[in-house]
A = this chain, B = another copy of it.
Amino acid sequence: MISRVMSAELAEHAGQRVTIAGWVHRRRQLKSVSFLVVRDRTGLAQVVATGDLPPEESVVRVTGTVVAGEQAPGGYELVAPEVDVLARPCAAPPFDLYRPAVGAALPTVLDHAPVALRHPLLRAGLEISAAGVAGFRETLDRLGFTEIHTPKIVGSATESGANVFGIDYFGRPAYLAQSPQFYKQAMVGVFERVYEVGPVFRAEPHDTVRHLAQYTSLDAELGFVRDHRDVMAVLREVVAGMTESVRLRAAAALDLLGLTLPAVPAEIPAVHFTEAQRLTSSGEPDLAPAQERWLSEWAEREHGSAFLFVTGYPMAKRPFYTHPDPERPAYSNGFDLLFRGMELVTGGQRLHRYDDYVRALAERGEGTQAYEGYLQAFRYGMPPHGGFALGLERWTARLTGAANVRWATAFPRDLHRLSP
């Protein structure tokens, strides 16, 4: 490696001559003195210089003497520098990366993502995202889950016929997987408890602030549950583990963004769908975004919780593999988890008997042919099981307060956007 100390380590080298390296975050050339602020992956370092300095986003290596500096980030700065330019930019960034706020609207940020994401605030969101994923895996590893990798190219557009991307697969039609649902269920037969972190694809024809054509789905599935409540208990651990991981792994990012993490209650409050309907005076068989927001506010007010489970969605609104509530078969053992006003997770107990699948498909007017590969697992004995899928971009957007999931995605894909 290029021999260097990191900007966050300057205090440990007070009085020494050291080399730092990074990007010119800002240069300020005054009459008698100039300042160069260098950005590396640990933070910012100030260099006191004279004369002409390279422009912002130049890549530099600076050797200088570490001295205390009251105005410097971290309390130390470099003086008497030699500046070596490793790469020069060809253009100025579309907005100033050194200003505290992001001085551009979302389309500009997305069009220029490779440079825009260097802004500390935007970078911080992605750090929080990475820390959340690490917490997801850590929690499930601790609970005996095994990580799997499943096909993203599938032979039939099964889970929901609409919103699927078609592929030319060696001259045959194929589709991009909308979820790892069938595969994670099958793998419960192998490992009992599995998870996957991976891309899923939805050909969403609508432009909304919460849908993407590709997003990162955090999927888990587990066997030998009594019903969906066991799945909800695991999900509570996962959300707590993700939150704790963000606290530990992304402390600087939280600080920079001025965020407060939610408390995750020992038991997340839950309301049945019928109760949610009553509370929101709704007669519809599903909850609209406005109702989800209202319910979240209600949970905050009544239970002091940023999280709320809604259980027992009507069977008619859930996929065919959903397990009904044995007491009230028109309602399901499925749930959503709302977080700060938005659906963050969908999950539930699944059917586990082959005959139940055949019946459920017949009731929806479908045969089993398109599902042969899927149904195989159930032909050979499957335990009662369930699982959930958590949308990473929604998680990050809710934590960071982003109004649009695109702020929480490095390179989003949607109806209009296919680059960069």
B191 and A123 contacting across the interface, CB-CB below 8 Å: yes
A96 an interface residue at 8 Å Cβ cutoff? no
Binds B, one of A64-72, A166-174, A281-289, A399-407: A166-174
A134 an interface residue at 8 Å Cβ cutoff? yes
B126 and A190 contacting across the interface, CB-CB below 8 Å: yes
Distance between Cα atoms of A381 and B216 in the complex (Å): 29
Which B residues touch A213, using CB under 8 A?
Answer: 153, 169-170
Distance between Cα atoms of A249 and B11 in the complex (Å): 39
Distance between Cα atoms of A137 and B149 in the complex (Å): 15
**In the assembly, how many copies of this chain are there?**
2
| Interchain nearest-CB distance for A142 vs B (Å) | 12
Selected contact of A123 from candidates B190, B205, B354, B420, CB within 8 Å: B190
Which B residues touch A410, using CB under 8 A?
Answer: 148-150, 183, 187
Query: Assuming A87-B353, A165-B167, A190-B118, is B150 touching A380 (CB within 8 A)?
Result: no
A153 and B413 contacting across the interface, CB-CB below 8 Å: yes
B420 and A374 contacting across the interface, CB-CB below 8 Å: yes
A304 an interface residue at 8 Å Cβ cutoff? no
| Interchain nearest-CB distance for A173 vs B (Å) | 10
Which B residues touch A170, using CB under 8 A?
Answer: 203, 205, 213, 415
Selected contact of A89 from candidates B165, B172, B379, B418, CB within 8 Å: B379
Selected contact of A418 from candidates B154, B381, B411, B419, CB within 8 Å: B154
Binds B, one of A224-232, A290-298, A331-339, A342-350: A224-232
A383 and B86 contacting across the interface, CB-CB below 8 Å: yes
CB within 8 Å of B: which A152-181 residues: 152-155, 165-170, 172, 174, 176
A93 an interface residue at 8 Å Cβ cutoff? yes
Query: Assuming A134-B147, A176-B167, A379-B91, is B123 touching A224 (CB within 8 A)?
Result: no
Query: Assuming A2-B224, A230-B1, is B411 touching A114 (CB within 8 A)?
Result: no
Selected contact of A90 from candidates B59, B115, B354, CB within 8 Å: B354
Nearest B residue to A193 via CB reads B41
| Interchain nearest-CB distance for A106 vs B (Å) | 17
Distance between Cα atoms of A281 and B137 in the complex (Å): 48
A323 an interface residue at 8 Å Cβ cutoff? no
CB within 8 Å of B: which A174-207 residues: 174, 176, 183, 186-187, 189-193, 197-199, 201, 203, 205
B118 and A58 contacting across the interface, CB-CB below 8 Å: no
B225 and A2 contacting across the interface, CB-CB below 8 Å: yes
A29 an interface residue at 8 Å Cβ cutoff? no
A117 an interface residue at 8 Å Cβ cutoff? yes
B214 and A153 contacting across the interface, CB-CB below 8 Å: yes
Query: Assuming A1-B224, A380-B115, is B41 touching A152 (CB within 8 A)?
Result: no
User: What are 26 residue pairs bridging A and B, where the CB atoms are less than 8 Å apart in the complex?
Assistant: A2-B383, A21-B383, A41-B146, A41-B191, A57-B381, A59-B381, A86-B384, A88-B381, A89-B381, A91-B379, A91-B380, A115-B189, A115-B377, A126-B146, A127-B146, A129-B149, A134-B141, A149-B216, A149-B392, A150-B410, A150-B411, A152-B152, A153-B418, A165-B167, A372-B420, A373-B420
Q: Which 3 A-B pairs have the closest CB atoms?
A: A373-B420, A114-B377, A114-B186
Kindly list 9 other residue pairs between chains A and B, CB separation below 8 angstroms, not including A114-B373, A149-B410: A23-B381, A89-B380, A113-B186, A114-B380, A152-B201, A153-B165, A154-B419, A155-B418, A186-B420
